[in-house]
A = this chain, B = another copy of it.
Amino acid sequence: MQIINREQIEQVLPQLDLVPAIEAGFVAYSAGKAVIPPVGEMILSRGEVHLKYGYIPEDEYYVIKIASGFYDNAALGLPTGNGLMLLFSQESGQLVSILLDQGHLTDIRTAVAGAVVARQLAPRHVRRIGVVGAGVQARLQLQYLNQVIDCREVLVWDRGKDLLGKYQNDMASQGYQIETTLDAAEILGECNLVVTCTPAREPILYASDLLPGTHITAVGSDTPQKQELEAAILSRADLVVADSIEQCLERGEIHQAIQAGEIGQLDIVELGQVISGEAVGRTSEEQITVADLTGVAVQDIAIATAVYQAVDTLHK
């Protein structure tokens, strides 16, 4: 049994080809080939804990992820999010590896899903990338988009100038030309590939600013309450894609738009179906597309397996 700490994980991450690994996970999920029990949840006075777990029968392992968010942790000098992943043998139930990633692999697999979506749905010519939010996920999204999108021009929005300045500095080394704005409407006005990465509970982007040929990946909203996009954006879109239709009916932007009566369940296709070709993706440069990512256990299975195998190979 191998215990893998965060340093070891960060060491192998750059060498992993995660986009195809997570694409394969989404395809298996949408084809009904993944066994994913309902998410376990435990609410405490200072935080909450989620258990995501499952397996793809043709794989070697099953994966259990424990992820927590404790909202007063900053006062303790600790990060809000935390967690670990556990890998077990499908043959014997033996514990194969404990990945002490402290929630980092959840951030990474979420960013990789952004790249997976962009590869499928971004317009061929990305003029400028728009990033809503300037936190950890807003950094990782650009880092992984790098692999699948040529454009290096970025406009980033957030509420605070300090946050934006820090983001600009941190990301400059990655080869992006980054400009900032405090006016969220500029994002939809100037960018045709947009990623939203905030925990907002009120819309930040509005349908009145939406131009033809835009793709939006909504990453921030993963609960029934959170919302970054005005619901009318989804009804204006030519294509609305969910990472998991089942989950997106309960949480995220699609949930909000259905509640608002802007779209119906039949207007949604699933990401794995678009990847496999079972559903049609973007068919013209003029189309508006929206993808809603709420996070699916197949992503955890894919990344945990890839990290474990890479570390294991290093030790052989």
Residue numbers of A with Cβ under 8 A of B are: 1, 3, 35, 37-38, 40-47, 49, 51, 53-55, 57, 62, 64, 66, 68-70, 73, 76, 78, 82, 84, 86, 88, 90-95, 98, 100
A44–B40 touching, CB < 8 Å: no
Say whether, besides A37-B40, A45-B57, A92 and B66 are in contact (CB < 8 Å): no
Return the contact of A78 from the options B47, B55, B68, B94 (Cβ within 8 A).
Answer: B94
Say whether, besides A76-B91, A91-B76, A92-B78, A66 and B42 are in contact (CB < 8 Å): no
Specify which chain B residues have a CB less than 8 angstroms from the CB of A93 in the assembled complex: 46-47, 49, 68-70, 73, 82
CA distance A94 to B70 in the complex (A): 9
Q: How far is the CB of A227 from chain B (nearest CB, A)?
A: 25
Q: Would you give 5 A-B contacts (Cβ < 8 Å), ordered by A?
A: A46-B92, A47-B92, A49-B62, A73-B92, A78-B94
CA distance A1 to B84 in the complex (A): 12
Q: How far is the CB of A87 from chain B (nearest CB, A)?
A: 12
Say whether, besides A93-B49, A95-B82, A42 and B70 are in contact (CB < 8 Å): no
CA distance A3 to B98 in the complex (A): 11
